[in-house]
Every structure is written in C-alpha cells, then in structure tokens.
Structure 1
Amino acid sequence: MSLQAYHQAAKRAESPRETEYRLFAQVTLALMDAAKADPRDLSARVDALDWNRRVWAALSEDCASPNNGLPKPLRASIISLAIWVGRHTSKVIRREEKVEPLIEINRMIMQGLVPAPNANANSNASAAA
C-alpha cells in the first residue's frame, strides 16, 4: 500500500475528534522541538510557532461560525484562548516569553479530546438496556 493510500484510509477511519487530537499532537511536538532547539535557530522556532498560531486561528474562525455546533460558552472560551495564543506567540518570537505555556495549553486541549475510558462500552450498555 502506498503512503498516500494509507493516509487516505486513516483519514476515513478517524473521527473529527481523533483528527483534532492528532493535529494538536503534531503541532505540540513541533513546539517541544522548537523549545529544545538552539535559540539562535530562529527559523525552527518561528515555523513551529507560526503553525501553532495558524491552528488556533482556524479554531477561532470555526468557533465564530454560526454553524458551529459547540455550546456558545465553549466557543467563546476557545476564541479567547486563540487570542491569547496569538499574543503570547508574538512575545515568544520577540523572546519576551517562553514557549512552554503554549505547549501546556495544547496538552490541556489534547486531554479534553481524549475519549473517556469505557465511553463506548457505557453507551452500548445503555442502548442495550
């Protein structure tokens, strides 16, 4: 199987929540690598920081859409976080702040995207009852 065919099959098999988790895992790993990189290697840092900022901007844009199905308070919180990420990222690029808070925010989002253990078993048991 070619790599492209594998990626297409994986996309069809993933839920949107799993796709979001995978994206956050990838961008967070890039941020972690950037945090460990030589501080003089501005290119590696800026690429990871820009990618993270674009992910958050896309989330913000999606949450601002009237067609978004999330509850309004959650959408507002995500938009607020996206604004904070944008501002903090600018400070990190100017070397006024550290990368680690961005990593922590992403990790918290990833924790929220992980399904609860036995969530499928409980819903299947409820449906059978």
Structure 2
Amino acid sequence: MSVEAYRRARTIVETPRATERRLIGQIIGEMIAARDAGLRGVQLMPVLHRNREMWGTFAAACGAPGNALPDTVRAGIISLGLWVDRHTSHVVAGRDTIDTLIAVNRTILDGLAAEQLAA
C-alpha cells in the first residue's frame, strides 16, 4: 500500500479527536527532538511555527459560529492559543525555553487521551 493510500484510508476512519491527538503528538516529538539537538531561539522557528499554527487553528475553530464545544472550553482553547503565541515569541527571543510549550501540549494530549478512554 502506498503512503498516500494509507493517508486516505486513515482520514476515512480517524475521528477528529484522533487526528488532533496525532498532530499534537507529532509536534511534541518534533519539539523534543529540536530541544535535544540543542536548538535555541531562531533555530527553533520551524517547529515553533508549526505549533503556533496548530494552536491558531484550534483557536480559530473555537471562535467559529456553530462550534459545538461548551463556551468555557472554547474560551479556554482561545486563551491558550493566545498564550502559546506570546510564549513562542519569548522562546524565539531566548527569554524562555521550549519546555513549557512541550508541557502544555503534553497536558492537552493527556486530556484528549483520557477523553477517549472515558468514551
């Protein structure tokens, strides 16, 4: 089976939450690899940009009309997206490390995994 055929098959059977978990997990792995490779500041931009885009997309989806999540959850995700954007700037400027972003993503990933187990 080709890689593209696998991707198509996965999108047919994968739930939106599973897609979110997979994406967050991939980005966590990329951030850890970048950190462990000793990358700092601007060198982290590719992975930081990907993380920032993900959180921006989550926040935009939560602000969209018709989003079925509870208002408090939507507000929390939007707030977290704004925080990720600000914190990313601190990491690029060398005023903080990528570790906090990794921890936040892990916490969200753990929450999504627990949600799946409860379902």
Would you call these one fold, judging by a TM-score over 0.5? yes
Pair member with larger Rg: 1
Could you tell me how far apart the structure 2 residues matched to 1:52 and 1:7 are? 21
Find the counterpart in structure 2 of residue 82 from structure 1: 81
Deviation at 1:38, TM superposition (A): 2.7
Instruction: Give me the TM-score of the superposition, normalised by structure 1.
Output: 0.85
Could you tell me how far apart the structure 2 residues matched to 1:70 and 1:41 are? 35
Task: Kindly report the root-mean-square deviation, in angstroms, between the aligned alpha carbons of the 2 structures.
Answer: 1.5
Find the counterpart in structure 2 of residue 25 from structure 1: 25
Unaligned runs of 5+ in 1: 120-129
User: Taking every aligned residue pair, what percent have the same amino acid on both sides?
Assistant: 39
Flag the 1:73–1:24 CA change in 2: closer, same or farther, 3 A.
same
Instruction: Give me the TM-score of the superposition, normalised by structure 2.
Output: 0.92
* TM superposition outliers: structure 1 runs of 4+ over 3 Å: 39-43
Could you tell me how far apart the structure 1 residues matched to 2:61 and 2:41 are? 33
Flag the 1:9–1:32 CA change in 2: closer, same or farther, 3 A.
same
What does residue range 1-129 of structure 1 map to in structure 2 within 5 Å? 1-39=1-39, 42-43=42-43, 45-114=44-113, 115-116=116-117, 119=119
Paired residues in the alignment total 117
Could you tell me how far apart the structure 1 residues matched to 2:11 and 2:59 are? 23
Flag the 1:9–1:73 CA change in 2: closer, same or farther, 3 A.
same
Letter of the aligned partner of 1:3 in structure 2?
V
Could you tell me how far apart the structure 2 residues matched to 1:105 and 1:18 are? 18
Could you tell me how far apart the structure 1 residues matched to 2:40 and 2:103 are? 23
Deviation at 1:74, TM superposition (A): 0.5
Unaligned runs of 5+ in 2: none
